[in-house]
A = this chain, B = another copy of it.
């Protein structure tokens, strides 16, 4: 029977459309849950989907574009850093969330919480827009495809109309005494303005960023700020010596 292949494609489409539980799919296609289970098992073996308890979800794509590849890098570390940063942020605060995959990982954890979010992090919008407890404001401006974020004069103009309790940001590199570095002046200009507009500054950076000066454009850090990192203490103590509160997230493994 060639039809089963057709049904598996339809199941794939149904899962992509949100129909995710075994019983629902069984009713939808008029077959028994056992059959759906077998189909899901096969699709799972083909790496097309991933099984969940009582259902299935689209498989996490192995690799994709430039952004997806970088998101995969240090993913565990970023998730751990994001979770550690979450404990520092009281519910109800107004947050500025900067661009970058580390901040996106943090933003995902805000689902279910109550916050006002100001962000130029475009992938984050889809993750938070449906949350009833979250009021989302997007900073406009020109889109940087590499980082999927906005920047430029329009973003800065919008930011000048807003203030926040806390900024969460990351960087291409951090150096004691210099601050954080990025590839373009446009980026550091926006980051500096974000720091001015937030009462507290929290920087999320994995171990590979500390002590790295790989970019030419620098933004100084405020007198008091918080660093959340998975790096060992010897790599971060220099920041602590110059006014940063250092929070360690457990390293992967």
Residues on A lying within 8 angstroms of B by beta carbon are: 5-6, 8-10, 12-18, 45-48, 50-53, 57-66, 68-69, 71-72, 75-77, 79-80, 82-84, 86-87, 104, 108-109, 111-112, 122-123, 125-127, 129-130, 135-143, 145, 148, 150, 153-155, 157-158, 161, 249-253
Contact = CB atoms under 8 A, between A and B. Distances in A.
A10 B60 contact: no
Nearest to A132: B145
B63 A60 contact: no
Interface centre among A6, A16, A135, A161 (most CB of B within 10 A): A16
B48 A109 contact: yes
Contacts of A82: 48
A132 to B, nearest CB: 9
Interface centre among A58, A61, A83, A150 (most CB of B within 10 A): A61
A37 to B, nearest CB: 11
Contacts of A16: 65, 75-77, 79-80, 252
Nearest to A74: B16
A104 to B, nearest CB: 8
Given A52-B52, A140-B139, A143-B138, A250 B127 contact: no
A49 to B, nearest CB: 9
